[in-house]
């Protein structure tokens, strides 16, 4: 389990997303409210963001420390201004290493992705079957050893094979393959995922044979006008909407929201 958030909209200082909210990711790292497993999210964290003006590869900042202990984050949060950001505080599954390579969000070219959930007994179940289905580019791009990165690799594999595919379609295909592989072995998994290419957010709330983790969205809040927020837990009291289970939420550049059943 991890806690995730995504933001798309008018320019915002990172500080306002990470530190200011009353139930920010920093608070969620030591006092989360809706975890389906695990107790704290103190196994590192990561942030990925896009440039306000230039369409270049996104930027990432990662650490294996609890987010509240990072000495650089206050400076970075004051400095970064962005219209599109993903962030994660990690709760590592037992047995998965604390390596920086395992910190999310993952990046591949213009794409950022982050995952909250798990594949049951990953190393003994879908680790090898997933890898065996990857083309060389996605295979060689894997840097760490987590289930999360391997699910991200399934998405990247679709995009590399079909460059014109939408993020929505790539995520849908990846989840469909994951379902099939999991069904073969009758194992459980959960896959709350947020993806972005800097122009849109695409997020799934999905699980099979286990509880579906929570996921919420909020649009045009007075605190964040002209913006959409997606988060594992509401960052502050407002009219957050719970995403339906077994669905994919898309937010385009005009902040239109659509919900697609899986």
Residues involved in catalysis: 2
33, 109, 131, 180: which one binds its own copies (CB under 8 A): 131
Considering the rule CB under 8 A, would residue 40 count as an interface residue with its own copies?
A: yes
Considering the rule CB under 8 A, would residue 22 count as an interface residue with its own copies?
A: no
Residue written as token pair 């037992």: 94
Non-local (6+) Cβ contacts of 54 within 8 A are: none
Considering the rule CB under 8 A, would residue 147 count as an interface residue with its own copies?
A: no
Non-local (6+) Cβ contacts of 33 within 8 A are: 23, 233
Residues 183 and 163: their CA atoms lie apart, in Å, by 28
- 114 three-state secondary structure: strand
Mask for 202-241, x = binds its own copies (CB under 8 A): ----------------------------------------
Residue 3 Cβ vs its own copies, minimum distance, rounded to whole Å: 15
Both tokens of 128, joined, read: 């090898």
Considering the rule CB under 8 A, would residue 56 count as an interface residue with its own copies?
A: yes
Residue written as token pair 């999310």: 104
Stretch binding its own copies (CB under 8 A), from 18-26, 122-130, 220-228, 245-253: 122-130
Considering the rule CB under 8 A, would residue 115 count as an interface residue with its own copies?
A: no
Report CA-CA distances (Å) from 172 to 51, 159, 223, 239, 249. Answer: 27, 12, 32, 28, 11
Measured distance between the N- and C-terminal CA atoms of the chain, rounded to whole angstroms: 21
Instruction: By CB under 8 A, name the binding residues for its own copies.
Output: 30-31, 39-40, 42-43, 51, 56, 59-66, 69, 71-72, 75-76, 78-80, 92, 97-102, 123-124, 127-128, 131, 136, 139-140, 142-145
């Amino acid at each position: 389990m991890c806690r995730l958030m995504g933001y798309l909209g008018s320019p915002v200082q990172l500080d306002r997303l990470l530190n200011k909210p009353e139930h920010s990711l920093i608070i969620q790292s030591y006092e989360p409210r809706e975890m389906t497993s695990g107790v704290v999210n103190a196994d590192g964290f990561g942030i990925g963001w896009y440039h306000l003006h230039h369409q270049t590869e996104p930027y990432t900042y990662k650490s294996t420390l609890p987010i509240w202990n990072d000495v650089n984050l206050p400076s970075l949060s004051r400095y970064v201004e962005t219209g599109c950001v993903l962030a994660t505080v990690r709760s590592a599954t037992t047995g998965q290493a604390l390596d920086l390579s395992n910190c999310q969000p993952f990046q591949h070219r213009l794409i950022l992705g982050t995952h909250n959930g798990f594949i049951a007994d990953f190393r003994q179940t879908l680790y090898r079957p997933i890898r065996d289905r990857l083309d060389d580019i996605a295979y060689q791009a894997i840097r760490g050893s987590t289930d999360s990165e391997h699910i991200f690799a399934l998405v990247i594999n679709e995009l590399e094979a079909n460059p014109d595919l939408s993020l929505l379609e790539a995520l849908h295909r990846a989840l469909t393959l994951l379902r099939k592989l999991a069904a073969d072995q009758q194992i459980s998994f959960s896959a709350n995922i947020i993806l972005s290419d800097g122009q849109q957010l695409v997020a799934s709330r999905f699980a099979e044979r286990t509880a579906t983790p929570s996921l919420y969205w909020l649009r045009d809040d007075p605190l964040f006008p002209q913006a959409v927020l997606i988060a594992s837990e509401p960052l502050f009291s407002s009219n957050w909407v719970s995403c339906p289970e077994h669905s994919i939420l898309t937010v385009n550049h005009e902040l239109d929201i659509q919900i697609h059943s899986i």
